[in-house]
């Protein structure tokens, strides 16, 4: 499992992203970060091969 993010690291990330949050909002986010990091690790692990990706097609013609 990834290392937990400290309050100072969260403040730095929010500042870099330009996201202004109050201290109360930051305090509400901090406990959820370990769970979020664990979910991120599950997404697309392992990465699919190019031929396994679904094809997306569209038509510019009406009714197609």
pLDDT value at residue 37:
82
pLDDT value at residue 2:
61
Q: What is the DSSP letter of 10?
A: H
pLDDT value at residue 11:
93
pLDDT value at residue 22:
93
Distance of CA 32 to the CA centre of its chain: 13
The dihedral built from the CA positions of residue 42, 47, 52 and 58, taken in this order, carries a sign that is positive
pLDDT in tens, 11-44: 999 999 999 999 999 999 999 988 888 888 788 6
């Amino acid at each position: 499992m990834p290392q937990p993010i400290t309050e100072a690291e969260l403040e730095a990330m929010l500042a870099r992203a330009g996201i202004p949050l109050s201290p109360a909002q930051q305090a509400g986010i901090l406990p959820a970060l370990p769970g979020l990091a664990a979910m991120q690790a599950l997404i697309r692990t392992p990465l699919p091969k190019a031929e396994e990706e679904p094809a997306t097609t569209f038509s510019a013609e009406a009714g197609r």
